[in-house]
């Protein structure tokens, strides 16, 4: 699934090509369920003739603002791509929406698995309400050691599962959660309330770092992800743990492991990312059993 870096890369590639262009046509919808709050006829009636004023991103949603305060929010889900094509180019398989522009180009939404969704909003206020009900803070702008400490307060679930919760933190998915946890030396099964202040600070920095690297490398292309010009990203060539089961950890050489957490896979180094952390022994308080206790380092 495209995560924050992939959506941000697409927004950056689309922005100079779309802003200022007028919508000349809307069509090609062959999967009405991709439009949860609108329909092809309404999209055509509302968008035709309007100029694009902005291309932005919030979490995993690509946001396209148009004149008269009209907005599209596009969630690509598992396999969706937004591609720019000359008007004479034959449609790719699984093209479910085409927006024609006044420069002769088409913006196409291509989605083999049909999980992607396109929403229409009549004002920025409507869009903001929709986003606020679904997404937590933006990790690139609103995340710090202090804010992550606040977010984790009272949370008892596994840290990997929590990072995947978009209402907790927007934009982080499986790839970048694994990479950030490895960089921060935090095991994916650790309870969220077991992390020390030092671990929380490392994790906040690691989340931002792996996301920024992903953006610099134009995203991670394992299967279907492409940017607006149909180009692959490069981040898949630089991953430390994700998709590297059985390969040596870049930091210590231990073989990377893969486990299932719920319905998702997690990749980690069993040496660098310990499932439990031993509390330093103090006089008269050493553990009788010697068993490590989680999260007390």
Q: Looking at 6, 8, 58, 60, which residue is catalytic?
A: 60
Longest dimension (CA), the chain: 79
Structure tokens of 110? 């291509």
For residues 296 and 150, what is the distance between their CA atoms, to the nearest angstrom? Answer: 18
Give alpha helix (H) positions in the chain. Answer: 4-18, 40-47, 124-132, 139-142, 145-152, 159-163, 174-184, 197-216
* Closest among 3, 136, 2 to 79, alpha carbons compared: 2
Give the H or E element holding residue 36. none
For residues 128 and 16, what is the distance between their CA atoms, to the nearest angstrom? Answer: 24
Q: Three-class SS of residue 32?
A: helix
User: How many H-runs (helices) and E-runs (strands) does the chain carry?
Assistant: 8, 10
* Closest among 74, 70, 69, 67 to 11, alpha carbons compared: 74
Catalytic annotation present for 3: yes
Structure tokens of 31? 């999967």
Q: Looking at 22, 251, 264, 278, which residue is catalytic?
A: 264
DSSP result, 1-22: ---HHHHHHHHHHHHHHHTTPB
Catalytic annotation present for 60: yes
Give the H or E element holding residue 81. strand 80-86
CB atoms within 10 A of CB 104: 10
For residues 125 and 177, what is the distance between their CA atoms, to the nearest angstrom? Answer: 31
Active-site positions read: 2-3, 60, 264
């Amino acid at each position: 699934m495209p995560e924050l870096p992939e959506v941000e890369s697409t927004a950056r590639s689309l922005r100079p090509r779309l802003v200022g262009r007028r919508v000349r046509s809307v069509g090609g919808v062959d999967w009405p369920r991709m439009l949860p709050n609108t329909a092809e006829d309404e999209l055509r009636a509302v968008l035709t003739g309007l100029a694009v004023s902005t291309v932005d991103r919030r979490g995993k949603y690509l946001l396209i603002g148009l004149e008269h305060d009209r907005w599209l929010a596009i969630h690509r889900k598992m396999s969706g791509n937004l591609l720019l094509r000359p008007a004479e180019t034959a449609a790719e398989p699984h093209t479910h929406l085409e927006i024609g522009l006044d420069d002769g180009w088409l913006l196409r939404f291509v989605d083999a698995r049909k999980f992607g969704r396109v929403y229409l909003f009549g004002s920025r206020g409507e869009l903001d309400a929709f986003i606020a009900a679904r997404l937590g803070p933006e990790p690139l702008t609103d995340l710090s050691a202090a804010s992550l400490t606040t977010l984790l307060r009272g949370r008892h679930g596994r840290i990997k599962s929590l990072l995947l919760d978009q209402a907790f933190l927007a934009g982080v998915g499986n790839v970048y959660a694994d990479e950030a946890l490895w960089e921060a030396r935090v095991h994916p099964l650790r309870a969220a309330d077991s992390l020390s202040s030092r671990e929380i600070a490392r994790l906040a920095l690691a989340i931002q770092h792996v996301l920024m690297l992903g953006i610099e490398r134009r995203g991670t292309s394992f299967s279907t992800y492409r940017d607006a010009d149909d180009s692959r990203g490069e981040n898949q060539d630089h991953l430390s743990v994700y998709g590297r089961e059985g390969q040596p950890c870049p930091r210590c050489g231990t073989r990377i492991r893969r486990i299932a957490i719920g319905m998702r896979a997690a990749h980690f180094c069993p040496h660098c990312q310990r499932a439990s952390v031993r509390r330093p022994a103090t006089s008269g308080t050493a553990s009788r059993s010697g068993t490590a206790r989680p999260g007390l380092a």
